[in-house]
Amino acid sequence: ILNVEQSPQSLHVQEGDSTNFTCSFPSSNFYALHWYRWETAKSPEALFVMTLNGDEKKKGRISATLNTKEGYSYLYIKGSQPEDSATYLCAFPTSGTYKYIFGTGTRLKVLA
Amino acid sequence: GAGVSQSPSNKVTEKGKDVELRCDPISGHTALYWYRQSLGQGLEFLIYFQGNSAPDKSGLPSDRFSAERTGGSVSTLTIQRTQQEDSAVYLCASSTRGTVSNQPQHFGDGTRLSIL
Tell me the pLDDT of chain B averaged across its residues. 92
Provide the pLDDT for residue B72.
86
Selected residue of A7, A98, A100, A107 to mutate for chain B interface (largest B Cβ count, 10 A): A98
CB-CB under 8 Å, B42 with A89: yes
B46 has pLDDT over 90? yes
A1 has pLDDT over 70? no
Rg of the Cα atoms in chain A: 13
CB-CB under 8 Å, A44 with B91: yes
Selected residue of B5, B9, B43 to mutate for chain A interface (largest A Cβ count, 10 A): B43
B1 has pLDDT over 60? no
How many CB atoms within 10 Å of residue A4? 21
pLDDT band at B61 (very low <50, low <70, confident <90, very high): very high
Provide the pLDDT for residue B42.
85
Provide the pLDDT for residue B95.
92
Tell me which amino acid residue B42 is. G
Q: What is the mean pLDDT of residues A18-23?
A: 96
The rounded Cα B69 to chain-centroid distance in angstroms is 11
Query: pLDDT for B71-114, tens place per residue?
Result: 989 999 999 999 999 999 999 999 987 667 788 999 999 999 99
State how far residue B22 is from chain A, nearest Cα, in angstroms.
16
* Sign of the torsion formed by the C-alpha atoms of A39, A44, A46 and A49: positive
Buried b (16+ CB within 10 A) or exposed e, B60-80: beeeebebebeebbebebebe
In B, minimum Cα distance to A99 occurs at B45
Residues of A in contact with B105 (CB under 8 A): 34, 36, 44, 46, 100
Residues B27 and B18: their CA atoms lie apart, in Å, by 28
Provide the pLDDT for residue B56.
79
Residues of B in contact with A31 (CB under 8 A): 101
CB-CB under 8 Å, B42 with A102: yes
Provide the pLDDT for residue A31.
87
Query: pLDDT for A35-88, tens place per residue?
Result: 999 999 899 999 999 999 999 999 999 999 999 999 999 999 999 999 999 999
CB-CB under 8 Å, B107 with A43: yes
CB-CB under 8 Å, A43 with B99: no
